[in-house]
Chains A and B, each alone.
Chain A
Amino acid sequence: MSCEVSLPEAKKVAIFGGTHGNEMSGVTLVNLWLKNRAEIRRSGVEVQPFITNPRAVEKCTRYIDIDLNRAFTPENLSKREAEDHPYEIKRALEINRIFGPKGSSDAYDVIFDLHNTTSNMGCTLILESSQDHLNLQMVHYIKQAVAPMTCSVLVNEHPFLQYSTSRSVAKHPIGLEVGPQPQGVLRSNIFQSMRLILRHALDFIELFNGGMEFPPCTVDVYQVTERVDYPRDTNGNITAMVHPNLQDCDWEPLNPGDPMFLTFDGRTVEYKGGNTVYPTFINEAAYYEKQQAFVITKRGTLIARQIKVSKM
């Protein structure tokens, strides 16, 4: 049973780059658009490009004190801005003040947060809710618009594995993750792909605000279920690498018994789960310290209800 969802205009939109200071596509695009907004101008939408972690960008490092993309917790956001905090908590409070407050009616309507990954994930759109029909319609529109280029949709609603992202201050947060690209490097193909996705995303918002109705549709997604760490010794050092058969195979099925890790002394460690799963974020550089070799997902299909703008 589907019924139409009437939603207010998405008038205030932000594009975040440099949430991780060494993920270069977003840093470059946002800096480009801060100088010249022509490409991101759409009628009926105010689009604000923004460098979220300027000190990390300046040092071309992921973060200064703590990961900004984990910093938007209720606990952190209730701290007082004037007090002395780690740099990224101060930034989170500032960003929440400018683009939030998170959870309030004043918050920005949509925030796109631009990221790169060393994993072979291609173009991936990351959602934090399976019930956000505006976002579901948007990703559906983008996927169709960029075809035959593929765009995967990752949904992270996991109670423990979901994290407090910078984009989460908005009513409709969307993560754009494009890889593979090494940290600190700007690759032309990756840069152009991200630029193209944003072009279509802004087109969608303009069309939606202009009154276009988007009929019900289905969206194939990957839903985060589990994370898998590297095998480690008693000192916490990793003792194996992602197996060559799994390396670069993001989104491909991993079956019980398939090779998963290769130890430094040449032994294969197999996947011992009961079902076929779909791994992603395979061998992301930044996740070694977060105890994550890859993330396990299951495939699903979400239904996006018909949406139409309701102009007040």
Chain B
Amino acid sequence: MVTVADQEEERRSSHLIYKMEVVSLPAVSRVAICGGTHGNEMTGVFLVKELQKRKRKEEGAEAPDILPVISNPRAVQRCQRYIETDLNRCFTTATLSVPVSDGTPYEIQRAQELNVFLGPKGSVKSVDLVCDLHNTTANMGLCLISYSECDWISLHICRHLQKEMPSVPVRYIHYDVPLSEAYSLESVGKHGFAMEVGPQPHGVVRADVWGTMTEGVRLVLDWIKRFNSGVQFDDKVMEIYTLVKTIDYPRDPETQMITATIHPQLQDHDFCLLHQGDPLFLTFSGNTEYYRGEEPLYPFFVNESAYYEKGIAFLLARKKKVNIPSVRVMTRESV
């Protein structure tokens, strides 16, 4: 949510920085909206199914071609996160080039199919933008998660959502990973992000979360249409969250079973700044474990059910300001 103080700060910063030139970017003509990358994250599944029903193309050259995709149909059918392995970890360059045989896990084969359909990753033929829809059990509001802090399209889209959805916290999370090692589906498009909305239990569709995600997707497409039609989006200073590290649960050294829950003061407090000495975990025997880091950081994905098996209780991020230049669609004249 943008406060008056934020707006003031933005005005001051933009007055002080050198006015960046307008960046000309190609139109965003092909957009993939993906749901069911994790088969039990229900909002995206139903949203994509509704898009598939609607099918008719919007009028006008500015409207992008929308490709609604159910990424992991077998997992969706079983209402499970995945069948053999997490599909959303299969999009590294290495995994996309693994030779496929009968024994190759289903999700690796599916990732390669998606790479042919929406990519190939890193090539000029790939779709212009991938919007991959996810839910989380963590109290994260709406987050756009991206591998880039200089994908101006994704950042402007995020700013658009922040402005147009003031009642929902909208944040941009940056995973600083090079493209070849980027493991998730959105890395296949020229631009892309995961749209993560929570909290929602897996296997459930909540009407309030549906409302947030459908509005988010509508605004993404709305921005793209306006961008394609020639609207210039002015430069801004934006705050984003950059992943620093992950923290696991305390575990029994022999059995590896967890020995504590997320502390009640941390539970549901995603993006509330964690200071040294703040409680993190409450052990089953009633002791509190505290954050010992010196640098205050922002927790997120706090108590995501799918992350227990990945050894993650929550992630920690640093907040930073990014200067986003003005952008305008590239026309034949400006090429």
Interface residues of A (CB under 8 A from B): 28, 31-32, 60-61, 118, 180-189, 191, 237-238, 241-244, 247, 262, 264-265, 283, 285-286, 288-289
Contacts and interface: CB of A to CB of B under 8 A. Distances in A.
A285 B204 contact: yes
A182 B306 CA distance: 11
A34 to B, nearest CB: 11
B326 interface: no
A28 B207 contact: no
Contact of B202 (A188, A237, A285): A285
Contact of B284 (A28, A243, A247): A28
Nearest to B268: A187
B79 to A, nearest CB: 7
A146 B308 CA distance: 31
B308 A60 contact: yes
A61 B262 CA distance: 21
Range of interface residues on chain B? 20 to 34
B282 A188 contact: yes
12 contacts: A60-B308, A118-B201, A182-B204, A183-B305, A186-B258, A237-B49, A241-B207, A262-B207, A283-B204, A285-B202, A285-B203, A289-B79
Contact of B262 (A181, A188, A265): A188
Contacts of A184: 137, 202, 305-306, 308
**Which secondary structure dominates where chain B touches chain A?**
loop
B277 to A, nearest CB: 19
Contacts of B275: none
B257 interface: yes
Contacts of A31: 257
A238 B284 CA distance: 40
Interface string B200-212: 1111111110110
A185 B137 contact: yes
Contacts of A118: 201, 203-204
A85 B257 CA distance: 30
B264 interface: yes
Contacts of B79: 288-289
Nearest to B257: A31
B305 A32 contact: no
Nearest to A116: B201
B207 A285 contact: no
B46 interface: yes
Contacts of A283: 204, 206
B45 to A, nearest CB: 10
B200 to A, nearest CB: 8
Contacts of B137: 182, 184-185
B309 interface: yes
Contacts, number: 78
A264 B211 CA distance: 10
A277 B275 CA distance: 48
Contacts of A182: 137, 199-202, 204, 305
Given A187-B261, A188-B262, 8 more contacts: A32-B284, A184-B305, A184-B308, A188-B282, A243-B207, A244-B208, A285-B203, A288-B203
A170 B211 CA distance: 45
Contact of B261 (A61, A188, A238): A188
Nearest to A244: B207
A186 B263 CA distance: 11
Contact of B50 (A61, A186, A262, A264): A264
Contacts of B208: 244, 247
Nearest to A262: B207
B267 interface: yes
A247 B308 CA distance: 27
Contacts of A187: 261-262, 267, 303
B203 A286 contact: yes
B50 to A, nearest CB: 5
Nearest to B305: A184
B216 to A, nearest CB: 16
Nearest to B205: A241
Interface string B18-46: 00000000000000000000000000001
Interface in B235-287: 257-258, 261-264, 267, 282, 284
A244 B88 CA distance: 31
A185 B135 CA distance: 14
Nearest to A237: B49
B261 A242 contact: no
Interface in B45-60: 46, 49-50
A288 B39 CA distance: 14
Shortest beta-carbon contacts, A-B, top 3: A182-B201, A184-B305, A285-B203
A296 B78 CA distance: 27
B206 A189 contact: no
A241 B201 contact: no
Contacts of A189: 264, 267
A215 B150 CA distance: 72
A293 to B, nearest CB: 11
Contacts of A289: 79
Contacts of A244: 207-208, 211
A61 B258 CA distance: 17
A243 B263 CA distance: 32
Nearest to A265: B50
A289 B78 CA distance: 10
Contact of A241 (B202, B210, B284): B210
